[in-house]
Each structure stands twice: as structure tokens, then as C-alpha cells.
Amino acid sequence: MEGVDRNPASVWDQVASRAHPSWYLDPLVAKQKQDLHIKLFQGWMPASASRALKTDVFEEAFGADALLGRLAPLGQTWIGMDVAAETVRQARARSEFRCAHFLAGDVRHVPLRSESLDAIVSNSTLDHFAEKRDFETAIAELARLLGPGGRLLITVDNPRNPLFWPLRWLSRLRQSPFALGYTPSATVLRQTLQRAGLLVTDTRTLIHNPRGVSTVLFLALRRIAGTRADPLIQWLLGAFAKLERLPTRGFTACFLAACAVRPLASPPQPAFPNRPAAPCGADRSSG
């Protein structure tokens, strides 16, 4: 994952050095998070994708919510990248996926050639930057890596969720697992992807557990009842999931998700100031 200062590697190396970096994530929540992301990303993944990148491997290194091993069939080549070398080392050590390769790198300056990927999965990576310009730089860099017809599958924190803002403030405290940074609204996310030369084909909301509140609640239930809390936690997760059906889902969702495609052959779109424009063209995807 990316950090929130100008040297994200140092921030995330500190996180990776902790004994239990994912201590806050209940096992049942981790399973829910994994299943929902896999269902969403598999629906968006190009059928012909053979070269893909995941922009951080925090889950693969430390969590029960790892995605990489379930994302692709055998024979598909995946690259798991992270800005923290220790996180990369841990992810490589835990990996049982033979077609995965791992590298340390900054998502604002990815050490891969242009148009070399068919798909990029970026789940809650870019929303750890403190500044909007770093977020935009990373989007433009990911767009550069996609070949024509390639897809960027991205999730970010939802700023319309009223619990996001106190959680963001609390995340600056020393006891927090990591800090939350800049994140765009759904409209701004779409505009940012479009300015990078990508066509947004679908947007979703994802996970409706009350941010921070549910984490404290589940930790308390585990402390009191241990594994006997499983039925109650599972029931609560099911109840929270029903919020997706309501018109208020744009406020209750923890994450925003978008699928963006690099078109095939139309004139280049304007990129961000001081960034080269990415060539793109007619979309071959139905989204």
C-alpha cells in the first residue's frame, strides 16, 4: 500500500514491521471483504487478460482477505507490487500462486513499460496518499500501463460516508493501523479516470459495515465470547449488507468501485498537467 507522506515506503515499512499489521480485521469480516471484492473484480476482469497487476499486496502479506490467489486462473501472469519491500517479502513467502511475481515499487512510478498490462486491480491503494496530486499522478501512471482494451479495476474510500471523516482523523493517531488520505467522490473519481484517457464503464458501492464502529464492536464481541461470537457477527454482517439495496447506499458504503477501460483507437485524451497524454480509442468492452 501507499503511504500518506512524500516518502510512502518509509511509512509502510513501519507498518510491515509490526507483529500483527491486520489485527483490526475480524476473520469473518476478512472473508466478507474478500468474497465481495472477488465477485466484483471477476465480473469486471477482461476474459482475455493474460498480464495483470495488483497495486499493493498488504492483504497477501498479512491478511485473511488476500485476493491475488483467487483472482486469476492458472496460466495467467500476475504481478503483485507494493511500495514496502518487507510487505513484498512477506507476500512472496505466503504465496502459493505459481503464476504470481512480486516487486517493490511506487504506484506513481511503476517500473513496467507502457501498454504492458491487460488488467490492473487497485483496491484501496491510492486513497492512502495525503494529497490529491499524488492520487492523480498514480491514476495517470496506471493508465499508461494499460494496453488498448485493458481495464483498471479500482476501489477507494467513500468520502460521502459520514463515518469516514472521524475515522480519517483518528487514523492519524499512533495506535491506528495506518493513516487514511485523500479520496474522491464518485463524480470526481470518474472525472479523474476520464482525464487519464480511460472510459468508465461501471461504478458500484461496496461493503456497508459502519466504518470504525463495526470494528470496535466486533473486537469487543471477540474479547467477550471468542468464537462463540461467530453467529452474532455473521448476522450483523448480513444485516449491514442489506443497506446496499437502499437509496442511501451512497452514504453507507465503505468503498466506491469503478471499472475503467483504455479504449482501442480514438484520438488521445488530455492527461493531467505536466503528464503525457495516454493514447486511447474505441471501447471493446460492454463493462
Q: How much is the average pLDDT of 120-137?
A: 95
8-17+25-261 has CATH 3.40.50.720 classification: no
State which amino acid sits at residue 202: D
> Could you give the 3-state DSSP secondary structure of residue 177?
coil
253 pLDDT above the threshold of 50: yes
Strand partners, 103: 81
- The answer to whether 256 and 190 are in contact (CB under 8 A) is no
The domain limits of the chain are 8-17+25-261
Cα 31 from Cα 84, distance rounded (Å): 24
Would you state the pLDDT for residue 18?
59
Cα 187 from Cα 284, distance rounded (Å): 23
Neighbours of 160 (CB within 10 A): 14
Q: What band does 194 get if pLDDT is binned at 50, 70 and 90?
A: very high
> Could you give the 3-state DSSP secondary structure of residue 149?
strand
Higher pLDDT, 227 or 12: 227
Q: What band does 263 get if pLDDT is binned at 50, 70 and 90?
A: very high
pTM over 0.95: no
Would you state the pLDDT for residue 12?
55
